Amino acid sequence: MQLEIWADVVCGWAYIGKRRLEKALTERGGEPVEVIWRPYRIDPTAPAAAVPLEEMLRDPIADASLRQCAPGLSPSENLTRISQIAADEGLGPRWGAAWRANSHDAHRLLALAHESGGAVLQDAVAEQVMKAHFIEALDISDRTVLARVAEAAGFPAGPALLAGSAGDSQVRELMLIGRASGVRTSPTFAVGGRLLAGAQSPEVIREFLDAGDAEPTLPEEVRRLRQADALLDLGDPLGTLTLLEPLLATYGDDPNVQLVAARAYFASAQLGRAERLLRLLVDRAPGDAYARHLLGRTLQRQGRGTEAVPHLRLTAAMAPDHG
């Protein structure tokens, strides 16, 4: 079984969730579980250069972002509560981050570790990153710190990879996939299509794992198309197009791929590209009311109302709801 943890390494609940998961796996036994860390950002506005945590607590933008790590609690309330719980989970002896650190490079290091050495190496890196942030109060946005973290985790190739742009596009794409999959907080455990939000107790995690992978195995291209469509419904057409890139390259003639892409082009005001795909769809299936309606709307938005009229009239006749 494969378990994904969508989490931000600067969220204390992620570290607590890791300890509780480890306890659940020890108590559960049975089928091996492969644990894979996936990126989530609770503070996407964190500056490139870290600032002392005290300054963060006075920043209303950071306050709003960090509530994703503990819904219903302010950052200061969360810090008090989490310190007590961390001690109960054996995290310490000291506990507490000192920096508002941008976690993008740390997520790159995790992705690169998984790519280089699989789940075991990645988990070791996750442990060392969170230990550095929460126990040692280091700035994990500093690549010098991350280099030491990689070495301590048994990933000596990590610093050289991190010095370039390796893993950057992978992390950004995974962030989109997480959002499309319904991840809304750190940590979120995922098995197949099921999600468990929050650093739940070992008993709850064990029950979640015991329920197994209920989602049927889907071809990767089908899963990606669904994720792209979900992002579009969430109002992220540019993210949709990012996820569609490999599908357009390989399955660019597939009408399902073309329609999602055309919708994303329309929503992001790339009207020429939307028109080209929609004309292909309408030529292939003249009775496709939705594609014809969207073609008419695309022409309208380009100031070509006369050309749009026939398509919109046909749409109104075929499917009044679109008209």
Q: What is the CATH number of the domain that holds 198?
A: 3.40.30.10
Q: Model pTM?
A: 0.89
The three-class DSSP label of residue 6 is strand
Q: Name which of 38-42, 57-61, 216-220 the model is least confident about.
A: 57-61
Q: What is the dihedral of CA 146, 147, 149, 151, to 10 degrees?
A: 160
Q: What is the pLDDT of residue 59?
A: 66
Last residue of a domain, one of 210, 234, 260: 210
> Is 241 in the same domain as 112?
no
The single-letter DSSP state of residue 263 is: H
> Is 231 in the same domain as 174?
no
Task: Indicate the helix (H) or strand (E) that contains 51.
Answer: strand 51-52
Average pLDDT over residues 227-236: 98
Phi, psi torsion values for 7, nearest 5 degrees: -155, 155
What is the residue range of 188's domain?
A: 2-210
Residues forming a β-bridge with 3? 35
Check whether 54 has a pLDDT greater than 90: no
Average pLDDT over residues 158-175: 96
> Is 278 in the same domain as 181?
no
As a whole number of angstroms, the distance between CA 95 and CA 215 comes to: 39
> Is 236 in the same domain as 196?
no
Q: What is the pLDDT of residue 39?
A: 98
Return the structure tokens found at 304.
Answer: 């070509």
Q: How many domains does the chain have?
A: 2
> Is 42 in the same domain as 165?
yes
Q: What is the pLDDT of residues 176-221, one digit of tens each?
A: 999 999 999 999 999 988 999 999 999 999 999 998 876 677 899 9
Please give the share of the chain, as a percent, with pLDDT higher than 70: 91
> Is 238 in the same domain as 188?
no
Bridging pattern class, strands 34-39 and 2-7: parallel
Q: What is the pLDDT of residue 322?
A: 65
Q: Name which of 1-5, 65-69, 217-221, 299-303 the model is least confident about.
A: 65-69
Q: What is the pLDDT of residue 73?
A: 65
As a whole number of angstroms, the distance between CA 265 and CA 275 comes to: 9
> Is 255 in the same domain as 139?
no
Q: What CATH number is given to the structural domain containing 252?
A: 1.25.40.10
Task: Indicate the helix (H) or strand (E) that contains 10.
Answer: none
Q: Name which of 265-269, 307-311, 316-320 the model is least confident about.
A: 316-320
Q: What is the pLDDT of residues 7-39, one digit of tens each?
A: 999 999 999 999 999 999 999 877 889 999 999
**Is 164 part of a structural domain of the chain?**
yes
Q: What is the pLDDT of residue 279?
A: 98
Return the structure tokens found at 124.
Answer: 């070791």
| CA-angle at 6, arms to 94 and 137, nearest 5° | 20
> Is 177 in the same domain as 273?
no
> Is 142 in the same domain as 243?
no
Q: For the sheet containing 2-7, what is the strand order?
A: 34-39, 2-7, 188-191, 194-197
Task: Indicate the helix (H) or strand (E) that contains 4.
Answer: strand 2-7
